[in-house]
């Protein structure tokens, strides 16, 4: 297939990664917020970023330093295309928020360029291109790029070679994500991680992860809620986020099934069985951040959302 048109606009959603015990393994696409990339064919080879809207100039315009640019170039390279491509990136996601901002930019760009070329790459290869981009800014992990591209809930079994498993999502499951006005760089959040984990803590984490995956497969929401427990990564990162422990507790007290840090934070997510309870949880979580001195925004989303798509 040849190019379908000289200009294509694609969207990739925000995502919640880790989901408690699934550090660097689980990720879930959200509806609503996301990044948009317009890609157009231009003269000369290579990728150029013409414009970035949002995030007040904090992101690099240099294509090789921006996940959208890197993913676009990787897509061209994997497709063997010698085209010149110009990108416009509209950031709907704040950077350093724990919502998979860098992943959304990469996925939207890779998806747009692949469409521009007439879809030469399948999802697996496209994911590899996005992973290359993610690796340069926040480490080789696919738990944001995979849900942002594929939608729904995914488990990343391996990044080398890439092996991604789509998990069933319980019907009616609703996700709340509250993002405080507080930037936490993924680098800082990663630097706080322990180098090694006591074996007993690993076992308890494994146990919760196994139960969480089983709960998603069987639709056991009570089990899902009590499996959102993590004593390896969450406690360390909670110390970097004002009000974190109180916000997670507020979500549970308001009726959420469970709550934890979204990705590297500072956003906190909660899972709920009913829309009404999600509204109550969002309200309680925002109030708790307020008490810690932080204004915040909340998003309520169903849990089974589509991934990247054309606009």
Count of Cβ atoms closer than 10 Å to residue 310 Cβ: 11
Toward a second copy, which CB reaches closer, 9 or 188? 188
Q: Across 18-106, where does the E strand assignment appear?
A: 26-42, 46-53, 84-90
Whole-number minimum distance, CB 22 to a second copy, in Å?
6
Q: Which is nearer to a second copy, 42 or 167 (CB)?
A: 167
The CB-of-17 to a second copy minimum distance in angstroms stands at: 12
Which of the residues 86, 134, 179, 234 is marked catalytic? 134
Query: DSSP string spanning 106-175?
Result: HHHHHHHHHHHTTS-S-HHHHHHHHHHHHHHHH-S--TTHHHHHH-SEEEEEEETTEEEEEEP--TT-EE
- Closest to a second copy by CB, 64 vs 158, is 158
CA–centroid distance for 70 within its chain:
17
Residue whose C-alpha is closest to residue 224's, from 13, 14, 19: 19
**Rounded Cα gap, residues 295 and 297, in angstroms:** 7
Chain center to CA of 98: 7
Residues 157 and 150: their CA atoms lie apart, in Å, by 15
Residue the block writes with tokens 């427990």: 229
* Cβ 84 to a second copy shortest distance, Å: 38
Q: Are 232 and 23 in contact (CB under 8 A)?
A: yes
Of 75, 179, 186, 234, the catalytic one is 186
- Min dist. Cβ of residue 85 to a second copy (A): 33
Instruction: Answer yes or no: 186 catalytic.
Output: yes
Both structure tokens of 307? 């991934």
In terms of CB distance, is 102 or 205 closer to a second copy? 205
What residue ranges bind a second copy (CB under 8 A)? 21-26, 155-158, 163, 165, 167-168, 193-199, 202-211, 213-215, 217-218, 220, 223, 226-227, 232
Minimum Å distance from CB 116 to a second copy?
33
Closest to a second copy by CB, 215 or 254 = 215
Active site residues: 134, 186
């Amino acid at each position: 297939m040849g190019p379908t048109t000289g200009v294509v606009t694609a969207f990739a959603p925000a995502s919640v990664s880790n989901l408690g015990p699934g550090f660097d393994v689980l990720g879930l696409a959200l509806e609503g917020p996301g990044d948009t990339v317009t890609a157009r064919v231009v003269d000369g080879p290579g990728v150029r970023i013409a414009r970035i809207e949002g995030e007040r100039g904090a992101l690099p315009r240099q294509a090789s330093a921006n996940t959208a640019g890197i993913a676009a170039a990787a897509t061209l390279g994997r497709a063997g295309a010698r085209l010149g491509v110009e990108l416009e990136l509209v950031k709907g996601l704040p950077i350093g928020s724990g919502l998979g901002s860098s992943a959304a930019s990469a996925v939207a760009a890779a998806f747009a360029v692949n469409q521009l070329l007439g879809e030469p790459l399948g999802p697996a290869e496209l994911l590899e291109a996005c992973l290359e981009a993610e690796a340069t800014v926040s480490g080789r992990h696919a738990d944001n790029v995979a849900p942002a591209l594929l939608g729904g809930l995914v488990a990343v079994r391996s990044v080398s070679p890439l092996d991604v498993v789509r998990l069933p999502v319980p019907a009616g499951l609703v996700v709340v994500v509250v993002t405080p006005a507080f930037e936490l760089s993924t680098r800082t959040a990663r630097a706080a991680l322990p180098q090694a984990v006591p074996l007993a803590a690993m076992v308890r984490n494994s146990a919760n992860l196994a139960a969480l995956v089983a709960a998603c497969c069987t639709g056991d929401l009570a089990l899902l809620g009590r499996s959102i427990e993590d004593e390896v990564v969450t406690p360390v990162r909670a110390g970097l986020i004002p009000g974190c422990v109180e916000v997670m507790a507020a979500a549970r007290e308001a009726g959420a099934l469970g709550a934890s840090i979204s990705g590297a934070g500072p956003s906190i997510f909660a899972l709920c069985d009913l829309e009404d309870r999600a509204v109550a949880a969002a309200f309680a979580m925002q109030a708790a951040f307020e008490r810690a001195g932080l204004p915040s925004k909340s998003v309520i989303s169903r849990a089974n959302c589509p991934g990247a798509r054309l606009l």
